[in-house]
Structure 1
Amino acid sequence: MTSPATDTAPDGSDGTEVTGPPAWQPVAALGVTLVFWASAFVAIRHLGHEVTPGALSLGRLLIAAVVLSALLVRAPRHRFTRTELVLLTCCGVAWFGVYNLALNDAERRIDAATAAMVVQVGPILIALLAGLFLGERLTGWLLLGMAVAFGGVVIIGSAMRGDGGSDLAGVLLALLAAATYAVGVVCQKVLLRRLSGLEVTCYACWFGALVCLPWLGDLGDVLSTGSTETLLLIAYLGVFPTAVAFSTWAFALRHTDAGKQSLTTFLVPVIAAVMAWALLDEVPPPLAFLGGALCVVGVLLTRRKPGVPAAAA
């Protein structure tokens, strides 16, 4: 295990006073995450059926793990407790491993819009789990924003549904992705109370890669026969939507509620649709603009703070 670090615990558990970063930094980090995650949908769609779900997952996770490990060499590190090791394993196996395999396979069976719509059950599960296990408040604004944003995703999914169909296996795989995403984020939030975002993301990538090792042969075939464009896209997915975006996500999550932050991912389908429009010349249908507007409004509602009751006379 890594050597213990002497830096201040992020939650102030060592008794020292902790000052958070400027308010704009977590917001900017989250913005970077959303843009890169949205770009991943465009890149995966472009890869199509050239790369199997296992090979794609293993490739991007190995690249991300190597990049993050190189950064972690000179960064402060902690010696994990037994509980942290269990949570880190759950986060890596569930969110980085099973989630990627399930989502990539789901998009081979159902159209991307349906998959994105089903996976957006994940933020709702996170908000509920965070309320149950992390003590985060489910305010009226949070619930209203959740409902409005999810309605927007449903409209986008209905408007952009293609010819991929919606077979039961594909829908169940997308639901599995949503559930493992929720479990991973809640575990990550607990880990970030003491560990750095770089540590959590790096080791979670390695655990996720271990889950995907059975597809090492498929990845070898892709490396030996794949086109330069395919290899560059896998490298892009590993460096930016995985290594960078998951690190900026962890940084932002360290300074906000898990439930509230996860609901901002309702914006990912909106950003992905705009990117597909700009990069792939896929013009969204008019109804998709209404869905996108609802997603934006819903996310803004989740950021509202409940009113402070008036003091008793």
Structure 2
Amino acid sequence: MAAAAPWLDRLAPFAFVLIWSSAFIAVRAGLPDVSPLYFLAVRFSLAAALLLLVMLCIRGSFAGLNRRWPHFVVVGLCINALYLGGAYVAMRHLNSATVALIQSLQPLAVALASGPLLGEHFRPLQWLGFALGILGVAFVVGLKATTGSESQGLVTGFLAIGFFIAGTLYFSRYCKAAPLLPANLVQLATGAVGGWLLVGLFERPHAEWTPTALFTLGYLVLVVSLGAMALFFYLLKTGSAGKVSANFYLTPGVTAIMGWALLGESLSALAILGFVIASLGVFLVNRG
């Protein structure tokens, strides 16, 4: 097990970026058939149930959480319910490029806050990397980020990324020492409860369970909720919040490439240049 850790540490960031980027494609495919908050609540309910089944099969224990489980409730509420709930709603009002541009503010905000809150410090070359990341995302997004936006979507998008930043910093401060499997189960269950509360408060749910919607739901449950989120929290446990957050600079570019390859969407030379610049930014952040 110990011998696999260096290999996992090298692979995890790339796997996370690929899976997280693919989630944008999956969500766009499923949202026309299912209302966003209802979709989110069902997703986390199924993911929590599956992870609980895994825990029972392997006779997993919650003892490692000790009395820290309320911290994971906070993280689950911030990241799973409020961030993703807001992002889903925002994608109903904004194009994906605008949502990607809003999300690109997360790494820099985490880096700025992690100094006074977590004692993390970055070198000048790493700050250059954060700046290049934002520049690269702007190139990927292009002029599309300024068209078709509605005020409700913008407000929801900025609120959502604020909760994601808070959840990331909170996890790095209070949750690093706990075992990943029971911690992730608590967070998924909290996301499910929070999602159903959001449905009751803000949405008239509707769902047409087409083959596309069912496939999307299955992918989001198995690959994203159980896979990508576990990778994200693993990265936070083993690295700094600022360095981990820098990986989000890559998601708009990877999403654009996936959209071109899978959905036939256009991919401009400017977007490719932006992806290269963002990749350089992430390299500089992680090199330090």
Q: Do the two structures share a fold, i.e. TM-score over 0.5?
A: yes
Match of 2:258 in 1: 275
1:85 to partner: Cα distance: 3.2
**CA offsets 1:249-269 (integer angstroms, 9 cap, x no match):** 222221111111111111111
The answer as to 2:78 corresponding to 1:94 is yes
1:79 to partner: Cα distance: 5.4
Partners of 2:28 and 2:252 in 1: CA distance: 13
**Secondary structure in 2 matching 1:151:** helix
Report the residue type matching 2:150 in the other structure: D
1:109 to partner: Cα distance: 1.1
**Contact 1:197/1:247 (<8 A) preserved:** yes
Report the residue type matching 1:275 in the other structure: M
Match of 2:242 in 1: 259
Q: 1:150 aligned to 113, 125, 134, which one? A: 134
Match of 2:88 in 1: 104
The answer as to 2:267 corresponding to 1:287 is no
Unmatched runs of 5 consecutive residues or more in structure 2: none
1:182 to partner: Cα distance: 0.9
Partners of 2:38 and 2:185 in 1: CA distance: 19
Measured on the aligned residues, the alpha-carbon RMSD in Å equals 2.3
Report the residue type matching 1:124 in the other structure: L
The structure-2 alpha-carbon separation of the partners of 1:81 and 1:132, relative to structure 1 and needing over 3 Å to count, comes to farther
The structure-2 alpha-carbon separation of the partners of 1:102 and 1:150, relative to structure 1 and needing over 3 Å to count, comes to same
The structure-2 alpha-carbon separation of the partners of 1:259 and 1:238, relative to structure 1 and needing over 3 Å to count, comes to same
1:20 to partner: Cα distance: 8.9
**CA offsets 1:256-304 (integer angstroms, 9 cap, x no match):** 1111111111111111111111110112122111111111111011122
The structure-2 alpha-carbon separation of the partners of 1:239 and 1:220, relative to structure 1 and needing over 3 Å to count, comes to farther
**Contact 2:97/2:144 (<8 A) preserved:** yes
**Contact 1:142/1:260 (<8 A) preserved:** no
**Contact 2:29/2:213 (<8 A) preserved:** no
**Contact 1:39/1:272 (<8 A) preserved:** yes
1:118 to partner: Cα distance: 0.7
**Contact 1:149/1:266 (<8 A) preserved:** yes
Comparing 66-75 with 50-59, which one deviates more in the overlay? 66-75
**Contact 1:38/1:269 (<8 A) preserved:** yes
Instruction: Return the index of the structure with the highest Cα Rg.
Output: 1
Report the residue type matching 2:280 in the other structure: V
The structure-2 alpha-carbon separation of the partners of 1:229 and 1:247, relative to structure 1 and needing over 3 Å to count, comes to same
The structure-2 alpha-carbon separation of the partners of 1:191 and 1:229, relative to structure 1 and needing over 3 Å to count, comes to same
Q: 2:42 aligned to 56, 59, 63, which one? A: 59
The structure-2 alpha-carbon separation of the partners of 1:67 and 1:129, relative to structure 1 and needing over 3 Å to count, comes to farther
Alignment of 1:1-313 (within 5 A): 22-73=5-56, 74=58, 75-78=60-63, 80-82=65-67, 84-161=68-145, 165-214=148-197, 215=199, 221-222=206-207, 225-305=208-288
Report the residue type matching 1:78 in the other structure: A
1:156 to partner: Cα distance: 1.4
Partners of 1:27 and 1:216 in 2: CA distance: 42
